[in-house]
Amino acid sequence: MCHPELQQRAEKLVSTCRSKGLLIGIGECFRTVEEQEKLYSKGRTTPGKIVTNARGNSFGSHHQWGTAFDIYRNDGKGAYNDSDGFFKKVGQIGVQLGLEWGGNWTSPVDKPHFQLPYWGSDTKKLKNTYITPDKFKQSWNDKDDKEKKMEKIYNSVSEVPQWGKDTIEKLLKKGYLKGEGANLALSETAIKILVINDRAGLYDKIN
Ligand SMILES: [Zn+2]
C-alpha cells in the first residue's frame, strides 16, 4: 500500500538503526479515510490527546497517500518511551536516509513519524497534482511500466549478446561504429537491425 521508495527507506531505517543498537519496528503505514477520520476525532469528539490535524475526507495526511510510516521502539523499554532521546537518534538517521522526520515539526511534534520529502510537510501539492491517492498510486505503476519497457543499452562489445557480437566487432573494425567501451549506446533493437543488414551482406559490399 506504500510508495516503493518509502518501503525501501523504511527497510533501510530499520537495518541502519539496528546496526547502531536502536531497535525499532514499523507501525502504522497506509491509512484509509475511515481510519484517518477516527484518528482526527481523538482529542476532539473522543477521549485522548489530539494527534493529527488532518481530516479523513480531505486526504490531509501523508499516511493516506502511502508516503508516510510511523515507528515504535522495539527494545522492550516501552513503545514510545523517549526518556533517553531514543526518537531523536532515530529521527536523525531517518533524515540522513532522505526522509522527512515529524520530530522536526512544531504543530504537532510527531516523533514516530517519517515521510518522503518531495511534496512538502502537508499534502496540498499531492492533492493539486494527483487529486486522489488512487490516482497517485497509478502514477507509481506507470513509472514501473516505463522502466520495464525501457530497453537495455549496450556500451561495449563484451556486453552485447552472443548473436550480435560478430557484427558489432566488424562494424567497429571498419569504423562504422564508434564509442566502444563506454559510448556504444546500442539498444537491442539497433543490434538486431545491424545483424540483419550484416546477414544481407550490406557491410561487406561497401568495402
Ligand atoms: Zn505518522
Q: How confident is the model over 112-168, as pLDDT tens digits?
A: 999 999 998 889 999 999 999 999 999 887 765 555 556 777 888 988 999 999 999
List C-alpha distances in Å: 57 to 45, 60, 83.
17, 8, 36
CA gap 109, 158 in Å, rounded? 55
Apex CA 173: angle with CA 183 and CA 195, to 5°?
Answer: 75
Per-residue model confidence (pLDDT) at position 150: 62
For ligand 1, the distance from its centroid to the CA atom of residue 61, given in whole angstroms, is 8
Q: If one looks up domain 4-143 in CATH, what number appears?
A: 3.30.1380.10
- β-partners of residue 69 are 114
Name all contacts of 93-99 with Cβ < 8 Å and 24+ positions apart: 93/13, 93/16, 93/17, 93/20, 93/22, 94/9, 94/13, 97/9, 97/12, 97/13, 97/16, 98/9, 99/9, 99/13
In the prediction, which pLDDT does 180 show? 82
d(CA 104, CA 197): 62
Distance 151 CA to ligand 1 centre (A): 38
Q: Which stretches of the chain drop beneath a pLDDT of 70?
A: 143-150, 205-207
The rounded Å distance from CA 104 to ligand 1 centre is 13
Spans of all domains in the chain: 4-143, 153-202
Distance 27 CA to ligand 1 centre (A): 9
Smallest CA-to-CA distance from 101 within 71, 140, 64 is with 71
Tell me how far apart the alpha carbons of residues 99 and 92 are, in angstroms, rounded to a whole number.
9
pLDDT at 43: 94
pLDDT for res 154: 87
Residue-level pLDDT at 108: 82
pLDDT of residue 107: 78
DSSP state of 132: S
For residue 137, what are the β-bridge partners?
none
The C-alpha cell that represents 29 in the structure block: 503505514
Q: How far is the CA of 20 from the centre of ligand 1 (A)?
A: 23
Distance 31 CA to ligand 1 centre (A): 10
The rounded distance, in Å, linking the Cα atoms of 125 and 102 is 18
Rg (CA), the chain: 26
